[in-house]
């Protein structure tokens, strides 16, 4: 059987054609799940076996894989769903399955993200993180949370394939383009990002989940301008029996000060991280990035006149001591957040990011203009 070829792109998101895609031949003999994996592979995937779509060989459903990112735990690829593959065989969340079926019915190419994580005889930390996320988010869905749509085992390369929504870029990438001319110091744009962060946290806190690593690298934007929280490797579920935590979590620039000083309430620290991320968007750099001694509160922004009083009050509330720090649900009603721009403005911002990158590749950067 012919297998899809995995190609590597050196930079940028893969630009795949949304038109019809050529299907590959499908395996004719079904594989019995009980005999799907053998030897050390079976042992490696045992902790997450209940979450794996064992009936599906992922290479029978996804093709044209192009690398768009590479990390310590594996590469991320943009991939195309083979349109005439038997979609009924895929175990997917109902909303995701419905979208796939609609795309095929309308002749649209379906693009997804596939993260490939190597399976090792001795196991690896990423699989532990995957199991944690699967158990924490089992049965939960929120528009502002980027979850895992499906897990597969690729027996060709002994890897776990994680299907997710294909995102445009991280918030960190957007902030990084400020030095190249992107205009980001617009309160209504910052408020839209802030609203999405708070919606994600309000949803998680409803289920007693603390993320503990909210920062611009872990916030991704999709093509519709929705900011989504990802990477739950530090997340915990808070229970009445264990309301406090003592283990360090997160990166110091976005880390609530109480995390560095003993026992803390995990459900309180994410709001501090929201404030730090808002400060980062305004300053184009995370707080305390120029010092070895982070303070209890971040410093004032360098151009305070650019922002309304509601912005400064929001930052103040996020940096309150844990006991008096507002919840995400409360902060969603803050005047600053209530004045957020619409999604089309964020979509335009993403277009400007792409234009700046293209200009840089061509040898120059355009001056950005406000939305």
Round to whole Å and give the CA distance between 92 and 101: 11
For residue 187, CA distances in Å to 8, 173, 299, 346, 353 come to 38, 19, 18, 12, 18
Round to whole Å and give the CA distance between 184 and 357: 15
For residue range 304-319, what is the model confidence (pLDDT) as tens digits?
999 999 999 999 999 9
The pLDDT score that the predictor gives to residue 84 is 86
Round to whole Å and give the CA distance between 283 and 304: 10
Q: Quick check: 259 and 248 in contact, CB under 8 A?
A: yes
Segments in the chain forming alpha helices (H) = 39-45, 94-105, 125-136, 171-176, 187-206, 266-283, 309-318, 328-331, 335-338, 343-362
Q: Quick check: 64 and 16 in contact, CB under 8 A?
A: yes
Q: Is 216 helix (H, G, I), strand (E, B) or coil?
A: helix
Q: Quick check: 5 and 66 in contact, CB under 8 A?
A: no
Q: Quick check: 281 and 190 in contact, CB under 8 A?
A: yes
For residue range 234-264, what is the model confidence (pLDDT) as tens digits?
999 999 999 999 999 999 999 999 999 999 9
Question: CATH assignment of 7-165?
Answer: 3.30.200.20
Name the phi and psi angles at 246, rounded to 5: -125, -15
Round to whole Å and give the CA distance between 183 and 66: 30
Output the six-digit token pair for 282: 């305004």
For the chain, residues with pLDDT lower than 70 are 1-35, 364-371
Q: Quick check: 253 and 286 in contact, CB under 8 A?
A: yes
Q: Is 303 exposed, middle or buried (0-12, 13-18, 19+ CB in 10 A)?
A: exposed
Domain 169-356 classification at class level: mainly alpha
Q: Could you state, in order of their start, the residue ranges of all structural domains in the chain?
A: 7-165, 169-356
Instruction: Identify the residue whose tokens are 């060709």.
Output: 156
Round to whole Å and give the CA distance between 162 and 38: 20
Round to whole Å and give the CA distance between 370 and 278: 19
Virtual torsion, Cα 190, 234, 322, 291, nearest 10 deg: -70
Cα 270–Cα 217–Cα 330 angle in degrees, nearest 5: 25
């Amino acid at each position: 059987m012919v297998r899809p070829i995995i190609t590597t792109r050196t930079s940028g998101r893969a630009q795949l054609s949304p038109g019809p895609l050529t299907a590959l031949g499908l395996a004719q003999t079904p594989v019995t799940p009980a005999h799907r994996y053998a030897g050390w592979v079976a042992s490696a995937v045992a902790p997450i076996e209940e979450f794996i779509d064992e009936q599906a060989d992922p290479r029978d459903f996804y093709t044209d894989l192009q690398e768009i990112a590479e990390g310590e735990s594996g590469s991320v690829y943009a991939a195309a769903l083979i349109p005439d593959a038997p979609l009924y065989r895929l175990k997917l969340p109902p909303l995701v399955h419905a979208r796939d079926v609609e795309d095929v019915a309308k002749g649209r190419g379906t693009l997804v993200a596939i993260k490939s994580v190597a399976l090792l005889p001795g196991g690896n930390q990423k699989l532990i993180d995957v199991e944690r996320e699967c158990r924490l988010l089992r049965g939960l869905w929120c528009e502002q949370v980027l979850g895992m749509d499906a897990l597969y085992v690729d027996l060709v390369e002994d890897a776990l394939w994680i299907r997710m929504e294909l995102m445009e870029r991280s918030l960190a990438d957007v902030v990084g383009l400020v030095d190249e001319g992107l205009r980001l110091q617009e309160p209504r744009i910052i408020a839209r990002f802030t609203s999405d962060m708070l919606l994600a946290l309000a949803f998680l806190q409803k289920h007693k989940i603390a993320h503990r690593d909210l920062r611009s690298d872990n916030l991704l934007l999709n093509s519709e301008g929705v900011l989504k929280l990802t990477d739950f490797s530090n997340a915990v579920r808070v229970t009445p029996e264990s309301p406090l935590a003592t283990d360090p979590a997160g990166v110091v620039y976005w880390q609530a000060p109480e995390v560095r000083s003993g026992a803390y309430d995990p459900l309180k620290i994410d709001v501090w991280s929201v404030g730090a991320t808002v400060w980062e968007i305004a300053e184009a750099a995370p707080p305390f990035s120029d010092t070895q001694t982070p303070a209890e509160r971040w410093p004032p922004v360098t151009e305070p006149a650019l922002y309304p009083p509601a912005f400064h009050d929001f930052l103040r509330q996020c940096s309150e001591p844990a006991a008096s720090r507002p919840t995400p649900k409360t902060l969603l009603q803050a005047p600053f957040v209530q004045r957020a721009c619409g999604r089309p403005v964020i979509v335009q911002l993403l277009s400007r990011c792409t234009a700046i990158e293209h200009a840089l590749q061509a040898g120059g950067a355009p001056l950005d203009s406000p939305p």
